[in-house]
């Protein structure tokens, strides 16, 4: 579905993403893991065409592409996209309209997601009057409202308490079961372990470890056993 080959981004002296390659098939989920400044957000911005790449190629469904088709993709940006002072419902419907959904479809989709997160009563409120966890759920709905089949989630769990982290995790796992393809970034391995089929670990923009999670775990266990034995 998506194949990224030697994707690179340089800012003057800084090599933010360094010849990154990975692929993802329909229905798979891939975790991009790395510390602050590893290059996760820059990778997403290049995939979405929000930032020009310095080098490398992106292939979408077997064809070279400048970026992913935005009507098919839902994006939860790290800095989150919604306006704090605006009403939840208005913003969600506006976003769905931007992605070419008609009003009836948009209303039905919004109602569906508000119901999933038990937030129907909050839809008339301004975003900043909601709790942090509820704001985060609304931000996720903003990425989902046009029913994308490919999701890019930049640090979806950052700043969330454990209860809301679990609710969001379950929502992501349900999307996965429905066949949505997902890439998400995290600082934390345990999030990736629970949700992802594949992992790419970034350090200073470089892919330092990647593969299917099961294989990586076996490899790591084997290395540990060898290290302990020697
Ligand atoms: P974080 O979790 O902190 O967001 P990240 O893995 O998403 O980290 P990026 O935001 O992609 O990392 O940043 C990668 C590197 O590129 C960092 O060193 C950052 O300072 C640098 N960088 C990112 N955007 C720019 C920019 N517009 N101009 C210059 N340098 C940038």
CB atoms within 10 A of CB 30: 23
Q: How far is the CA of 60 from the centre of ligand 1 (A)?
A: 25
Return the ∠ at Cα 92 (arms to 86 and 98), rounded to 5°. 110
The pLDDT of residue 88 is 94
DSSP labels, 71-128: TTEEEE-TT--S-TTSBHHHHHHHHHHHTT--HHHHHHHHHHHHHHTT-GGGTTSBGG
Which among 210, 212, 165 has a CA at the least distance from the CA of 191? 165
Q: Which of 48, 32, 27 minimizes the C-alpha distance to 207?
A: 32
Q: What is the pLDDT of residue 119?
A: 93
Please tell me the residue having the least CA distance from ligand 1 atom 27. 11
pLDDT at 225: 65
User: How is 30-78 classified by DSSP, letter by letter?
Assistant: EEEE--TTSSHHHHHHHHTTSS--SEEEEEETTEEESS--TTTEEEE-T
Residue whose CA is at the smallest distance from ligand 1 atom 2: 36
Would you state the pLDDT for residue 112?
Answer: 92
pTM over 0.95, yes/no: no
Going by the DSSP 8-state scheme, the letter that residue 26 receives in this structure is T
Atom of ligand 1 nearest to the CA of 187: 2
Classify residue 73 as exposed, middle or buried by CB count within 10 Å of its CB (0-12, 13-18, 19+).
Answer: buried
Residue identifier of the C-alpha nearest atom 18 of ligand 1: 37
In the three-class reduction of DSSP (H, G, I as helix; E, B as strand; rest coil), residue 8 is classed as strand
pLDDT by residue for the chain (230 residues), tens digit each? 899 999 999 999 899 999 999 999 999 999 999 999 999 999 999 999 999 999 999 999 999 999 999 889 999 998 877 888 889 999 999 988 888 889 999 999 999 999 988 999 999 999 999 998 899 889 999 999 999 999 999 999 888 888 888 888 888 899 999 999 999 999 888 888 888 899 999 999 999 988 888 888 777 777 666 666 66
């Amino acid at each position: 579905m998506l194949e990224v080959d030697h994707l690179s981004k340089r800012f003057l002296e800084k090599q933010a993403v360094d010849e990154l390659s990975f692929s993802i098939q329909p229905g798979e989920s891939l975790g991009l893991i790395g510390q602050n400044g590893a290059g996760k957000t820059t990778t997403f911005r290049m995939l979405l065409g929000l930032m020009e790449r310095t080098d490398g190629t992106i292939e979408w469904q077997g064809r070279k592409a400048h970026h992913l088709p935005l009507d098919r993709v839902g994006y939860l940006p790290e800095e989150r996209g919604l306006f704090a002072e605006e009403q939840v419902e208005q913003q969600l419907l506006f976003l769905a309209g931007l992605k070419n959904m008609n009003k009836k479809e948009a209303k039905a989709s919004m109602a569906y997601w508000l119901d999933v997160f038990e937030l129907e009563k909050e839809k008339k409120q301004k975003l900043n009057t909601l709790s942090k966890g509820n704001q985060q759920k609304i931000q996720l709905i903003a990425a989902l409202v046009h029913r994308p089949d490919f999701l890019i989630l930049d640090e979806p769990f950052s700043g969330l308490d454990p209860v809301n982290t679990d609710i969001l995790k379950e929502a992501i796992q349900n999307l996965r079961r429905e066949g949505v393809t997902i890439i998400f970034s995290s600082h934390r391995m345990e999030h990736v372990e629970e949700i992802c089929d594949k992992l790419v670990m970034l350090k200073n923009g470089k892919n330092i470890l990647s593969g299917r999670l099961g294989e990586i775990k076996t490899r790591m266990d084997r290395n540990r056993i060898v290290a302990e034995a020697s």
